[in-house]
Amino acid sequence: MPEATARLIQMPNRLKDRVSGQTDGLSFEEILAKSAAIVTALTGEWRIGALCDLSELTRLAGEMHADPPGMGALLPAFFSLTHGIQGQAGTFGYGEVSYVAASLCDYLADLDAAGGNIGEPRRHLAVLDRHLAQLRRLLIDDIRDTTVNLRHIG
């Protein structure tokens, strides 16, 4: 069987050209400032949504604690919610939330990679609980990047 080869094609970044052509005469810097203002205005709304997702994660964790052997069936929904938080948090200034959620996603992905054989469920529940506690603290206390960087706290 012949060895497969791939060729990397570098595509030019034309985002600036596309955006600047539809801006009613605004400069690129003005477009960026306008976009930043929109993101800032949506931050509170995002945080409320993230707290709702955290509430659902907490509910799922409660179900896992009630039936540890059945936790595998709940992991896809748990991962999906966590991944959503991870992907959006940094945009709204919650880099540490994104960092903790990414760590949890990595852990969950490793569980999934094990083919559904999660071994001792209670060991995994303790890890999930620690991550949820960190997310809860960051979101409830509204800790953003400019406030504190938890990765550097001993």
pLDDT, tens digit, for every residue of 50-91?
999 999 999 999 999 999 988 988 999 999 999 999 999 988
pLDDT, tens digit, for every residue of 103-147?
999 999 888 655 556 778 888 999 999 999 999 999 999 998 864
DSSP 107-123: HHHHHHHTTT----HHH
pLDDT for 82 equals 97
pLDDT at 12 over 70: no
pLDDT for 4 equals 61
Quick check: pTM over 0.85?
no
Q: How confident is the model at residue 11 (pLDDT cuts 50, 70, 90)?
A: low
- Rounded distance between C-alpha atoms, residue 30 and residue 19, angstroms: 11
Q: Which residues, at least 6 apart from 20, have a Cβ–Cβ distance to it below 8 Å?
A: 26, 27, 28, 31
Q: Candidates 1.10.357, 1.10.287, 1.20.120, 2.30.30; correct CATH number of 27-147?
A: 1.20.120
9, with CB counted inside 10 A (0-12, 13-18, 19+), is: exposed
- Helix 28-66 vs helix 75-89: angle between axes, to the nearest 10 degrees? 160
Q: How confident is the model at residue 47 (pLDDT cuts 50, 70, 90)?
A: very high
- Rounded distance between C-alpha atoms, residue 82 and residue 60, angstroms: 12
Helix ranges (H only) for the chain are 15-20, 28-66, 75-89, 95-113, 121-140
pLDDT at 1 over 90: no
- Rounded distance between C-alpha atoms, residue 93 and residue 80, angstroms: 21
What is the amino acid identity at position 92?
A: F
Which tokens belong to 34? 């306008």
pLDDT for 40 equals 77
